[in-house]
Structure 1
């Protein structure tokens, strides 16, 4: 599966809670930003979403916390498309501490492609589905 760098940033003091580590609301926000960057890579750009009156609705999101992040830590998120169906995509994000290389959290998302006018699920267009499916398997390069 193709893994893409979809977010890079820093943990600021205002991201930290009374325990001194980054609060879960900030993990969710950084994973959300990574999702938008991943969507651009599969042709679901802001322009596509606006002009076609389409959107993605998250129907399931599971975050797993592995190592705490502290103020000053530099982080990056690497993301993958792990499944593409007619109306549904599943994405997985991994958040890394850049200095240590540790995976600090993961986030698995199931999202449904929506018609924003009808407010119901609609098929993912062929172009975007193919672009997402291309990420499922690494591209072979002939020697």
Structure 2
């Protein structure tokens, strides 16, 4: 299933390091912004998280850098759900240069659904699982 972008933005000069490309801290930040748009698509909206006392916590994140991004480049991230478990999800963000279509980086994250008060993992509600399962992709698609 082709996904709409979960993030679109620009690389600003102040996000670049001493060699002239976007510093790794900004890749992490842009992937994080994509997380929240992605979660909302899965039903994990800010209002759901607040009213239910739930939260999401990343427990593993791996980033692979493929091509540099320079000041002025337009960045787009698309996200794909790889796995849904009772209390966790695993997904992949793909960051591309929106002008050239070249992949700049990808990030795979495992995140746990948690009860914020008890500070421990919690099962996804059935409604959230049903939405998430619609976004699940086959391994060959990513």
Whether the TM-score (by the shorter chain) exceeds 0.5 is yes
CA distance in 2 between partners of 1:39 and 1:62 (Å): 18
Judge conservation of contact 1:63–1:106 (CA < 8 Å) in 2. yes
Q: Over aligned residues, Cα RMSD in angstroms?
A: 1.2
Task: Give TM-score scaled by structure 2 length.
Answer: 0.94
Aligned length: 138
| Structure 2 residues not aligned, in runs of 5+ | none
| Structure 1 residues not aligned, in runs of 5+ | 139-143
Which residue in 2 is equivalent to 1:141?
none
Q: How does 1:64-75 map to 2 (within 5 A)?
A: 64-75=64-75
What's the CA shift for 1:99?
1.1
CA distance in 1 between partners of 2:93 and 2:54 (Å): 23
What's the CA shift for 1:91?
1.1
CA distance in 2 between partners of 1:116 and 1:105 (Å): 31
SS at 2:124 equivalent: coil
What's the CA shift for 1:137?
4.8
Q: Flag as ranges the 4+ runs of structure 1 deviating above 2 A.
A: 1-4
Which residue in 1 is equivalent to 2:107?
107
What's the CA shift for 1:69?
0.2
Q: Provide Cα deviations, 1:14-43, integer angstroms capped at 9, x if missing partner.
A: 110111100011000000010100111111
Q: Does residue 9 of structure 1 match 2:9?
A: yes
Judge conservation of contact 2:81–2:137 (CA < 8 Å) in 1. no
Q: Provide Cα deviations, 1:111-131, integer angstroms capped at 9, x if missing partner.
A: 010000000001011111111
Q: How does 1:35-114 map to 2 (within 5 A)?
A: 35-114=35-114
Which residue in 1 is equivalent to 2:26?
26
CA distance in 2 between partners of 1:137 and 1:16 (Å): 34
SS at 1:43 equivalent: coil
